[in-house]
Structure 1
Amino acid sequence: MANIHSQKKRILRSERERLENRRYTSKIKTTFRRLEAIVSGDDRADAAPVHRELVQTIDKAVKRGALHRNTGARKKSRAARILAGRGGEA
């Protein structure tokens, strides 16, 4: 455990930030899996709102600093390809 007061505060802050970043990444992964499940099934009409939610979550994570902007762009591109029916893997 740190002895310096500012370092103690930094430890608490970094833990809060870690948990917030984890929430974003977890939500992105969950929504991505939901999108893949919907597209692979017959409910393609339900895919558009899920895709919109995924893009919004990715944008928030990039804005907050949980994801690098290139990573966010790559994830949005993959989601768009899945939505268009071209598959997620090249």
Structure 2
Amino acid sequence: MANIKSQKKRILTNEKSRLGNKAFRSQVKTAIKKAMVAKAENASDKEQLINSAVSLIDKSVSKSVWKQNKAAREKSRLMK
């Protein structure tokens, strides 16, 4: 554990952002899975699910939750 007060604060903020990133990452993964299932079943709302998943993937890059190459790879897989 850190002795410096500012470092103790930093540990707390890092933990908060870690939990927020974890929740957002889970949300993106769920959206991708739903889109993949809809795509496999030729569901009527597959375009909407794919678009929402791509939107979440783009947000994850802007929030620095995912790296740019991972996002590009996931979007490519969705678009196939």
Per the TM superposition, whether the score is higher than 0.5 is yes
In structure 2, the partner of 1:15 is 15
Instruction: Give the share of equivalent positions with the same residue, in percent.
Output: 38
In structure 1, the partner of 2:53 is 54
CA RMSD of aligned residues (A): 1.2
Structure 2's unaligned 5+ residue stretches are none
Taking the TM superposition and a 5 Å limit, the aligned residue runs for 1:4-83 are 4-43=4-43, 45-81=44-80
2: CA distance between counterparts of 1:57 and 1:65?
Answer: 12
Q: How high is the TM-score relative to the length of structure 1? A: 0.81
Q: How high is the TM-score relative to the length of structure 2? A: 0.90
**Number of equivalent positions:** 80
Q: CA deviation at 1:25?
A: 1.3
Structure 1's unaligned 5+ residue stretches are 82-90
